[in-house]
């Protein structure tokens, strides 16, 4: 399955809402990163003050080198978010998402509503949790 993604700017919440699926190649990761930068500019926030919601339930298990490339996007100071909520499908995809970063401010969910509740609750600004 070919890679696909969508990135929606949520100005009201200062967030990027991302949905991703398929099997990515390096060129797909590069295109994704470029669009993230463009969408961040549209938010108009200071660096690292945005939130990210990433729905990766439709992602295929990726090659290690692609996971490493995504890790650079997640950890890049230019695109790093204040908080990042991943909505994952299988436990295997959750394990793969967890390999992207071990920084604070990232949580993993099986349920979209729980992910949004955590992400948009300012009480969690400095707290990373491992939600099931």
Residue 47 forms part of a structural domain: yes
Beta bridge partners of 19: 6, 55
Residue 129 forms part of a structural domain: no
* H or E, element range at 28: helix 26-43
Cβ atoms 2, 25 nearer than 8 A = no
Residue 48 lies in domain: 4-124
Q: Tell me the per-residue pLDDT of 68-117, one tens digit each, with 9 for 90 and over.
A: 898 888 888 888 899 999 998 766 566 666 566 666 788 889 999 999 99
CATH number, position 73:
3.30.750.24
Rounded Cα distance between 41 and 37, Å, is 6
Q: Tell me the per-residue pLDDT of 36-80, one tens digit each, with 9 for 90 and over.
A: 999 999 999 998 899 999 999 998 888 889 988 988 888 888 888
Residue 39 forms part of a structural domain: yes
Residue 9 forms part of a structural domain: yes
How many domains are there within the chain?
A: 1
* pTM over 0.75, yes/no: yes
Cite the DSSP H helix spans in 44-130.
64-75, 91-98, 112-119
């Amino acid at each position: 399955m070919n890679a696909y993604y969508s990135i929606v700017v949520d100005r009201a919440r200062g967030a990027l809402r991302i949905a991703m699926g398929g099997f990515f190649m390096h060129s797909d990761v590069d295109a994704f990163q470029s669009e993230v930068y463009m969408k961040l500019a549209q938010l108009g926030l200071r660096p690292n003050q945005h939130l990210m919601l990433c729905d990766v339930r439709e992602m295929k298990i990726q090659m290690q080198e692609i996971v490493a490339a995504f890790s650079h996007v997640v950890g890049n100071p230019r695109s790093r978010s204040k908080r990042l909520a991943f909505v994952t499908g299988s436990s295997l995809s959750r394990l793969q998402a967890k390999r992207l970063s071990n920084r604070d401010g990232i949580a993993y969910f099986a349920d979209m509503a729980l992910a949004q509740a955590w992400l948009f609750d300012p009480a969690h600004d400095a707290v990373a949790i491992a939600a099931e």
